[in-house]
Structure 1
Amino acid sequence: MPREQTPSGSAAAAAKTALRDRVVTSRRRRPLPERAEAARAVAEHLLASPEVRRAATLAAYVAVGSEPGTGLLLEALRASGRRVLLPVLLPDGDLDWATYGGEEHLRRAPLGLLEPDGERLGPDAVAGADVVLVPGLAVAADGLRLGRGGGSYDRALARVPLGTFTCVLLHDDEVGLDVPREPHDRPVTAAASPSGLTRF
């Protein structure tokens, strides 16, 4: 894009807000059976991927609300003997991490989140994961991810070594959108949606 057309920080932030509103509205309209099928399909694609198959430790998250579900995926990963790290939101918006011990070891947290009740491992624990699965609202064709605006996962992704498989979980119509860019944004290397894996 020519320099004169590059949006200012405030313009990019406003464009992100508009895109977030649009995606969240669309997600809320999805019927429950469609959401359940999306969760199953995304789990199958990820579990079949070579990156996940050879991973010993994965960082993931517990989906909430209208996000593509992660319950099936988390249980399948744990049942296969893999170590799964889940985030714990810190007061400053950064993410700590703890090992997933099953649904019975999740507790309610602020903002409607579910978090692991195990020992905190520190914000840098995500750097030791072989695979990092993150939430999002959309992703561009170059892997630029749109989050909810808190910056938590941009900070976490900044700690992940280059070359690590980082993947956002989305619905099909949220992949390949025009995501406004800001300097702090961190791209992902792939997106998982019901139709398959898209690599960037």
Structure 2
Amino acid sequence: MSDAIDDEKRALRADLRERRHIMSDAAREKSAAALTRQLDALLERFGATSVSCFLSTTTEPNTRPFINAAVSRGLRVLLPITREDGLLDWTVATADGSEIEGLFGLPEPLGELLGPIAVGDVDLMIIPAAAVDVSGMRMGWGRGYFDKTLGSMRDAPPVYAVIFDDELVDAVPRDVHDQPVTGAVTPARIVDLPLAT
């Protein structure tokens, strides 16, 4: 990654991180309920019976109500587990799912490891992001796990990044390894995006 792009990403991530940290608990709670409705609508649109998602941290848009509801309805939900080699393992979410602190201090599920290719069988991928731009480019938090996963998939299903409403921006800095997404899901809406080239 060039120094200029790295500096741009670092500055944008710092701004986004600060905005997420100052959000009130009431705003977080309201956005969680709205996000769950949007994610349910996305499932319905694709007729998905198997999805990948992620365990949100306290500052991310809250995916946990959605995951719990999907599991209770009998959907197969795969959750990622970070590996030392930069790849993601996957495990099936359960109603009584236990969590541990992962490699970077982030919450990760406990469960049988299915390996990196397990995600190739889902109907829809729901992934985290720091921001997404109107061309379909996603900017993550800098560890590259989801870029590597998406870049390795021959026939990826639709991929939607979960962000807050103000994190859909005009442009994000991008480098050669960065991967585009099909769309973004915010508490207010589902946005279909052109796949960036």
- Structure 1-normalised TM-score? 0.90
Q: What percentage of aligned pairs have identical amino acids?
A: 33
Equivalent residue of 2:104, what SS? helix
Q: CA deviation at 1:167?
A: 0.6
Cα distance in structure 1, aligned partners of 2:66 and 2:105 = 20
The CA distance in 1 between the partners of 2:85 and 2:125, in whole Å, is 21
- CA displacement 1:65-120 (0-9 Å, x = unmatched): 31001110001110111100000110123211011113442223232322222110
Displacement of 1:63 after TM fit?
0.2
| 1:162 CA displacement | 4.1
Native 8 Å contact 1:166 1:188 kept in 2: yes
Q: Decide which of 119, 139, 143 is 1:146's aligned counterpart.
A: 139
The answer to whether the aligner puts 1:36 opposite 2:24 as a matched pair is no
Question: For the Cα contact (< 8 Å) 2:125–2:160, is it kept in 1?
Answer: yes
In structure 2, the partner of 1:86 is 79
Aligned: 1:19 with 2:12: yes
Aligned-partner Cα distance in 2 for 1:119–1:101: 11
Aligned residue for 1:106? 99
C-alpha deviations, 1:110-146, integer Å up to 9, x for none?
3232222211000111111111010011001011001
- Taking the aligned partners of 2:184 and 2:190, their CA distance within structure 1 comes to 6
Residue segments in structure 1 that go unaligned for 5+ positions in a row: 1-7
CA deviations on 1:134-160 (whole Å, 9 max, x unpaired) are: 001100101100100000010111234
Tell me if structure 1 keeps the 8 A contact 2:90–2:115: yes
Mind listing any 5+ residue stretches in structure 2 that lack a counterpart? none
Say whether residues 1:130 and 2:117 are aligned partners.
Answer: no
CA contact (8 A) 2:91 2:114 kept: yes
Secondary structure of residue in 1 paired with 2:169: coil
Structure 1 residues 103 and 39: CA distance shift in structure 2, 3 A: farther
Once residues 51 and 75 of structure 2 are traced to their aligned partners in structure 1, the CA distance between those partners, rounded to angstroms, is 7
The CA distance in 2 between the partners of 1:154 and 1:92, in whole Å, is 14
1:54-73 pair list within 5 angstroms: 54-73=47-66
Letter aligned with residue 60 of structure 2: E
Give TM-score, length-normalised by structure 2.
0.91
Shift in alpha-carbon separation, 1:27–1:71, aligned structure 2, 3 A: same
State how many pairs are aligned: 193
Equivalent pair of 2:97/2:110 in contact (CA under 8 Å): no
Deviation at 1:49, TM superposition (A): 2.4
Greater CA deviation, 22-31 or 153-162? 153-162
- 1:4 paired residue number: none
